[in-house]
Amino acid sequence: MERSAAKARIEELVALLRENSRRYYVENAPTMSDYEFDTLMHELERLEAEWPEFKLADSPTQRVGSDLQKGFVQRPHRYPMLSLANTYSISEVEEFAARAEKTLEAGFSYCCELKFDGTAICLTYRDGKLYRALTRGDGVKGDDITENAKRISNIPHTLKGDFPADFEIRGEVLMPYSAFDALNAEREDAGEPPFANPRNAASGSLKLLDREEVARRGLICTLYHIPAQSGLEFQSHDEALSAAESWGLPVSHERRVVHSIGEIKEYIDHWDTQRKFLPFATDGIVIKINEMSFQRALGFTAKVPRWAVAYKFKAEQALTPILSIDYQVGRTGAVTPVANLQPVQLSGTVVKRATLVNADQMAALDIHEGDWVYVEKGGEIIPKITAVEPSKRRPGAVRPAFPAVCPDCGTPLVREEDEAKWFCPNSDGCPMQIKGELLHFTGRKAMNILAGEATVEQLYNLGLARTPADLYDLSLSQLLTLDGWKEKSARRFRASLEASLDVPFDRVLFALGIRFVGETTAREIAVHFGSIEAVAAAGREELLAVPDVGEVIADSILAWFADQRHTIEIERLRAHGLRFAMGEAQAAASDALAGKTIVVSGVFSVSRDAMKDLISKHGGKNSGSVSGKTSFLLAGENPGPEKLRKCEELGVPILSEEAFMALLPEDAAEAPEPRLFDDEPTLF
């Protein structure tokens, strides 16, 4: 490879790995399998070794992925919390064992354990009490999620037996398949996208600000490591875990102490089959040098311990026939082919459907009707079809014809240049797109209206709702015509509509469903322009000046506002009282906070958005940073240390939630709270 090509490829790999690391650790929405990610990481390692002058100090090969998140206090780890070296090759495990035998004295052993597919946690106990819980974070510091950890049923708050006065133990927080299936069923009923896999669900659940919701998610913890540097008098890793179990801590029971590469292979082969019957997700085997003294002697690289390696199972596959192919129309009009499969067990769940992605992918796979196909959940992600088994193809089988018209409304499909998908352009007349827009509008991250897929389906079929504004026109008598609805259900729905009038402008803008305008982009646009009128009047160059807005998004916004039907819809929604400007509110509840600029930080008894709305309703102004103009800092639990330092430096008062509420009229606590319906599944 030439020098310029190597530099370009290294830069490309760094960008790819950083982006997918962010999606994996922060957004809990990976876009590539573990195998694909690890393959790219190994390629980057090889190129950096060959071209060291292009190696960055903060390269993904030198740092663990970071799950640090706003809303939590970050605290330093006592010892670095690193990742493990990964391999998919038995030969590399053999090389690891050979290096150990060459480097270490005779008489050492290995401890083999399951590699749990969850999210890492570090627990500290002092005097037998749970003192602190941190996430992996960036390996040097982690998010303090102590209060959330206390809501996990099998993490003890108090230890028993002869435990050390002060120690830490590390492990994984998991979501069992049963809890995962129940959570996704709830999300689908509420019209929300399901989590891709139990690992993402566990990570997302552990970082919720609502502690009671954390308790409800059914998380469990398995602990597997007491750092050798901690100074505790254990001869081996296995002995340390046995002691931890005697103190009441949940440790891994499937571990085995072995003495040769042959025994390691036997353990790997056993669990490659038996893992399918476990109640939780695993994705490999961890092999550790068992003796603590040897762990200390081998030490660490910048990123991984030298005394351990993770062998990752290849993505589990299943062979099953395609029964039929559906063509689904999404909210944006994208048409996606989905194969209906003969049900098959795969990675702990029964798979009945798998995406075929788009017409190009169908052609690349050479899909024929009735084909037997290999289905894979690489890294436990959403099932996808990876190959066809031609030996099982029926004689005379034909290729399915991708539709030329929308399967829902019959409009001719279009395919824009550089687009892989076909689209239905009938955005305001296609039933599936209309129902998708209504579900998007009512979603929790948008208007948080109590309406799931079944409700939207009924409202559409009865002709009661075609646009979001129609929802606000519904009368009690109309709602009572819905199947299974009683007066209580109807009144709860209307109460959620009333509460939605307090949703801030950025979420209203997101709820409108402009193509490519996601939650973060909507917030950037709202802050930049301040009102819907300013957004509608903006030209292309003005839109491109907004962070996160590129040419595709700018053109989509221009096209959306150019449609007169959308202008009419905005006016109807405005008439119902929705907010279309930053800081715009309903009639002020009081002027108790008039003239005050308030910074909100920490975790409260209600959501942070609810506290900010309360400030606005009582005449105050929200600010994101502490300055000389700040009237006071409203501090919940775990407020940002930098904000506290700034308050002390500038002499800005700090008020607790209780002291803040005392400033408001007595009935302020009865104000609508945006999370009122978040934890309740749709009942109809």
The token pair that represents 609 in the structure block: 């958005």
Residue 389 · residue 371 · CB < 8 Å: yes
**Distance of alpha carbon 2 from alpha carbon 23, whole angstroms:** 32
Nearest to 145 by CA among 156, 154, 132, 136: 132
**531 beta partners:** 581
The token pair that represents 197 in the structure block: 């896999």
CA distances, 389 to each of 176, 394, 561 (Å):
32, 11, 48
Residue 379 · residue 34 · CB < 8 Å: yes
CA angle 658, 661, 662 (to 5 degrees): 90
**287 beta partners:** 112, 309
Relative to beta strand 166-174, strand 334-346 is: unpaired
Q: Which residue has the tokens 């962070």?
A: 547
If DSSP codes are grouped into helix, strand and coil, which group holds residue 486?
A: coil
AA identity, residue 429 = G
| CA 498 distance to own-chain centroid | 29
Q: Euclidean distance between the first and final Cα of the chain, in Å?
A: 61
Nearest to 379 by CA among 312, 318, 319, 320: 312
| Selected catalytic residue, list 70, 115, 207, 288 | 115
Instruction: Report DSSP letters for 628-645, one per residue.
Output: TT--EEEE-BS--HHHHH
Q: Is 288 a catalytic residue?
A: no
**Distance of alpha carbon 284 from alpha carbon 313, whole angstroms:** 5
If DSSP codes are grouped into helix, strand and coil, which group holds residue 222?
A: strand
**Distance of alpha carbon 58 from alpha carbon 15, whole angstroms:** 12
If DSSP codes are grouped into helix, strand and coil, which group holds residue 256?
A: strand
**Distance of alpha carbon 34 from alpha carbon 20, whole angstroms:** 10
Return all residues near 542 (Cβ < 8 A) that are at least 6 apart: none
AA identity, residue 430 = C
Residue 397 · residue 368 · CB < 8 Å: yes
Q: What is the largest CA-CA distance in the chain?
A: 82
Instruction: Give catalytic residues, as residue numbers.
Output: 115
